[in-house]
A and B are shown apart, each in its own frame.
Chain A
Amino acid sequence: MRDRLTNAMRASHVLALIFVAGALALAVIGAATGDTFYLRLGTEALIFAGLALSVDLLLGYSGALSLGQALYFGVGAYVSALTLLKVPSFWLAMLAAGGATLVASIIGGLIANRVRGVYFALITFGLAQVVSKVVYNTRELGASDGMIGIPVIDIGFGPFSVSAGNPVGFFLIVLAIIMGLYWLTAYLLDTPFGRVLTALKANEKRVPFLGYSVWRARMFSYVLAGLIAGLSGALYPMLRGFVSPELMFFATSGNAVISVILGGVGTLIGAIYGSVLLVVLKSIIGSWTEHHLIVIGLIFMICVMFLPKGLIGFIRPRLEERLSEKTPDATPLTSVSLQPGSAKP
């Protein structure tokens, strides 16, 4: 049976393929022209796209607005930085960052999932503020300066190895990881578990009476979102060679929410497009004027007013139509074979 979410996901996947094609084109052009700036900018956009993806998982599917998702991004970045300073191993850093954000998001989830709606948004905001202030005032973590001098690592895949200092190589690795996270999230949403999340958003009060634990579903999606944010954050110090408490500040969380709204809430791939759009806009407008935030704010307001479903939210339904035109009756429900005697009059 093919239903609306499956159809929508298929359209998202087409847009994801277009995105990957565009990214690969950038990589080829970048490699040919020996560019560093745009590839590094693109890599940064992809890293923040992972954070936006985690915000969309919560906001777009289970319906929970997190205003502090940067907390897990920051935890991932700091743990990755600390690991790299001791042992310059990519895999170890990712493992450590993943483990740390897993623990952090379980703790955060136990606190935040006690409440709903606006209170959930405020609690997530508060948690991120508390932790970022602690980091800001901890000398061992570099306090307000953050930590610098994180070594450029070699990322090994069996016999091959790519340096994180190689703009094309690292761009491609980050692209693979972020698209992998996208694919994993999309896959999970297209399972019965994912449908329970959409049910939470649609009518949370009905869910327990169907036999599902609301708390468990909310907790699972929260921890998964934390993990996605943390793994994305772990890539940041490899790119920039430093981490700073700003990574956990509200501006970072807020940017992720703006990316999701620009791209389209509940589209997954929209979060990625939105994040790239935001980073590119900031960079371009930032080169014209130092008051670029005013312009970004205006663009955001115009987008919310005239494109309320976001860029992908606007494009995707049209794409869905075209896709379903190509395959008019993709296994309708009626073709599901019933066991003999299972249909009662």
Chain B
Amino acid sequence: MSNHVLDIRDLGIAFGGLKAVDQVSFKAERNRITTVIGPNGAGKSTLFNLISGALKPRSGQILIDGVDLTGASPARTKAAGLSRSFQITNLFFELTVAENLRMAAQVLEPVGRAFLPIGRSTRALAKTAEMLERFQLGHKRDELAGNLSHGDQRRLEIAVCLASEPKILLLDEPTQGMSHSDTADTAKLVRALSRDVSVLLIEHDIGLVMDLSDHVVVMHQGRKLAEGPPAVVRADPAVQAAYFGHH
């Protein structure tokens, strides 16, 4: 088994004349945190949409554990072990916290149980209970996801992604709109997650990125500008000019 869980090769897509993602290649190591950074409009979210199957690339390849998933549907990509969160909270707001988690955990069950009473899906139920405990949402399990605070919704979103036991977790700005203390908690959480899942992160908080990441990919105007360990990337003059220069 290769140590690279995700292998992106020359990935590209254009909207009209705009090359939103242009010839981007990088690899993400297993059980490490790889972070994609870049100014607004650099193509980070488009890159996530390509990797998760929401958009089909015009060129390039996406390999998950050596399996070619270029152009695969979101459902197939999910089945291959990739879970993603969204920049704008994307939950089943009319369903409860527990129902949101169970919906995600249901994929752990054999297909045959899809038509048996829901109580028979013991693995999905156990996973739901586990996630409620791990993310400290147990006391809110019967609340509608739409009624949670923003911070709780963001946490639930990560829990939902994790409930299906993915190999790779794509987190699109998990700390967006969070308070300072919630951000610190989330950082701790993401760090803990990377013990048993590979994390690919989009994050704006540079301090957090430098602190958290094992590997950083810098994007600028659709292209990869640099990549490497946080310290090396930070010292890169091109990165300084394009990205840190704005701060």
Extra inter-chain contacts (16) besides given A203-B93, A333-B98, CB under 8 Å: A3-B118, A187-B117, A192-B118, A195-B106, A199-B95, A202-B93, A203-B92, A210-B103, A210-B104, A210-B160, A210-B164, A211-B107, A336-B125, A336-B126, A343-B130, A344-B130
Residue pair A190, B126 in contact (C-beta under 8 Å): no
Tell yes or no: B209 within 8 A of A by CB: no
Interface check A205, CB cutoff 8 A: yes
Are the C-beta atoms of B91 and A203 separated by less than 8 Å? yes
Tell me if B's interface is mostly helix, strand, loop or mixed.
Answer: helix
Q: Taking the complex as formed, is A206 at the interface, i.e. its CB lies under 8 A from any CB of chain B? A: yes
Q: Are B138's CB and A192's CB within 8 A?
A: no
Are A193 and B114 within 8 A (Cβ)?
yes
The B117-138 residues at the A interface (CB cut-off 8 A) are 117-119, 121-122, 124-130, 132-134, 138
Does the CB pair B92–A199 fall under 8 Å?
yes
B141 within 8 A of A: yes
User: Is there contact, CB below 8 Å, between A193 and B126?
Assistant: no
Cβ distance B106 to chain A, nearest Cβ, rounded Å = 5
Decide if B34 is an interface residue (CB 8 Å cutoff). Answer: no
CA distance A156 to B195 in the complex (A): 65
List A residues 327-345 near B (Cβ within 8 Å). 333-334, 336-339, 342-345
Give which listed residue, B73, B91, B107, B134, contacts A345 with CB less than 8 A. B134
Q: Say yes or no: is B116 at the interface (Cβ < 8 Å to chain A).
A: yes
Write the chain B residue with the least CB distance to A206. Answer: B90
A1 within 8 A of B: yes
Q: Is the CB of A208 within 8 A of B74?
A: yes
Majority SS at the chain A contact face: helix
Chain B proximity of A120: nearest CB distance (Å): 20
Contact of A343 among B90, B134, B160 (CB under 8 A): B134
B19 within 8 Å of A by Cβ? Answer: no
Q: Which residues of A contact B132 (CB under 8 A)?
A: 333
A326 contacts the other chain (CB 8 A): no
**26 A-B pairs (CB sep. < 8 Å):** A4-B96, A187-B117, A188-B115, A190-B117, A192-B106, A192-B109, A192-B118, A193-B115, A202-B92, A206-B90, A206-B92, A208-B74, A209-B84, A209-B90, A211-B107, A211-B164, A212-B75, A213-B73, A333-B129, A336-B122, A336-B128, A336-B129, A337-B126, A339-B126, A343-B133, A345-B134
By Cβ-Cβ distance, the 10 closest A-B pairs, closest first, are A211-B78, A208-B74, A202-B92, A211-B107, A193-B114, A208-B75, A202-B94, A192-B106, A192-B114, A336-B125
**B113 contacts across to A, CB distance below 8 A:** 192
Task: Report whether B74 and A334 are in contact in the complex, using a CB–CB cutoff of 8 Å.
Answer: no
Flag if B93 contacts A333 (CB, 8 Å).
Answer: no
Chain B positions within 8 Å of A, measured between CB atoms, are 52-54, 73-75, 78-79, 83-84, 90-96, 98-99, 102-104, 106-107, 109, 113-119, 121-122, 124-130, 132-134, 138, 141, 160, 164, 196
A6 to B130, CA, bound (A): 22
Q: Which of A126-140 contact B (CB under 8 A)?
A: none
CB-defined contacts of A198 to chain B, threshold 8 Å: 95
User: Does A287 sit at the interface, judged by CB under 8 A?
Assistant: no
- Whether A191 contacts B118 by the Cβ 8 Å rule is yes
- Give which listed residue, A187, A190, A195, A209, contacts B78 with CB less than 8 A: A209
- Provide the residues of chain B in CB contact with A212, threshold 8 Å: 75, 107
What is the CB-to-nearest-CB distance from A41 to chain B, in angstroms, rounded to a whole number?
A: 36
Tell whether, in the assembled complex, residue B126 and residue A213 are in contact, meaning their CB atoms are under 8 Å apart.
Answer: no
Partner of B79, one of A4, A205, A211, A336: A211
Q: Which A residues lie within 8 Å of B164 (CB)? A: 210-211
A169-195 interface mask toward B, CB cutoff 8 Å, 1 = contact, 0 = none? Answer: 000000000000000000110111111
Give the distance in Å from the alpha carbon of A338 to the alpha carbon of B124 in the complex: 11
Q: Which residues of A contact B160 (CB under 8 A)?
A: 210
Distance between Cα atoms of A212 and B96 in the complex (Å): 19
* Contact of A199 with B103 in the complex, beta carbons under 8 Å: yes
- A339 CB to closest chain B CB (Å) equals 7
Chain A residue at smallest Cβ distance from B102: A195
Q: Which residues of A contact B75 (CB under 8 A)?
A: 208, 211-214
A1 to chain B: which residues have CB within 8 Å? 98, 118-119, 125
B93 touches A3 (CB 8 A): no
Q: Which residues of B contact A191 (CB under 8 A)?
A: 114-118
Q: Give Cα A210–Cα B103 distance, bound, in whole angstroms.
A: 8
Q: What chain A residues lie within 8 Å of B126 (beta carbons)?
A: 336-339, 342
Question: Which of A6, A196, A336 has the most C-beta atoms of chain B within 10 angstroms of its own C-beta?
Answer: A336
Which residue on B lies nearest to A202, using beta carbons?
B92
In the complex, what distance in Å separates the CA atom of A336 from the CA atom of B141?
A: 14
